[in-house]
Amino acid sequence: MKEAGEPRTWHLSVVLTSTREGTEVFDTLDDMPAVLRARCVRALDSKECQTVVIADEAGRDYLRRIIEEREHAKQQELPAKPAAKKAYSLRLAAEIAVCGAIGFALWLLATVR
């Protein structure tokens, strides 16, 4: 167990393996037998891998704050939607006006003859 960056926050990693021979617990991948470690490394890149977070009220607040900061950072990276929506509306109105003008010009040509 090691202390993480946030005060009074601890980070604990455990590798729990279950095979036909039984269930074993290891502190790190390096503590595992080589054959089991190779299977575990392959499984880490698949759907067979799970992360479990157990937190008290302070831990939930900390995780919630980190998630909100990441979402806020993602939103700042995105272009401003209202400006893009307004530009799209203006472009659409201009295209409709041009189509209408072309239709009117064609009608005028057809009726003048």
pLDDT one digit per residue (tens) for the chain, 113 residues: 455 555 555 666 677 787 788 888 888 878 888 888 888 788 777 776 666 666 677 777 777 888 888 888 877 776 656 777 788 889 999 999 999 999 999 989 888 86
- Please give the pLDDT value at position 79: 60
* Rounded-to-integer distance, Cα 39 and Cα 99, Å: 63
- Please give the pLDDT value at position 96: 94
- Please give the pLDDT value at position 1: 46
Shared-domain flag, residues 52 and 101: no
Shared-domain flag, residues 74 and 95: no
* Rounded-to-integer distance, Cα 18 and Cα 44, Å: 14
Alpha helices of 15-80 — where are they, by DSSP H?
Answer: 34-44, 57-77
- Please give the pLDDT value at position 95: 94
The domain total for the chain is 2
**Token pair in block for residue 103:** 């239709």
Shared-domain flag, residues 42 and 73: yes
Whose structure tokens read 């909100």? 68
Shared-domain flag, residues 34 and 87: no
Shared-domain flag, residues 42 and 71: yes
Are 91 and 85 a contacting pair, CB within 8 Å? Answer: no
* Integer CA distances (angstroms), 109 to 22, 64, 112, in order: 88, 66, 5
DSSP 21: T
Q: Under DSSP, is residue 27 helix (H, G, I), strand (E, B) or coil?
A: coil
- Please give the pLDDT value at position 64: 80
Cβ neighbours of 107 (radius 10 Å): 10
Shared-domain flag, residues 62 and 86: no
Shared-domain flag, residues 31 and 71: yes
DSSP 30: G
Shared-domain flag, residues 68 and 97: no
Supply the range of the domain harboring residue 16: 1-78
Shared-domain flag, residues 57 and 6: yes
Shared-domain flag, residues 74 and 104: no
Shared-domain flag, residues 38 and 66: yes
- Please give the pLDDT value at position 98: 94
Shared-domain flag, residues 35 and 19: yes
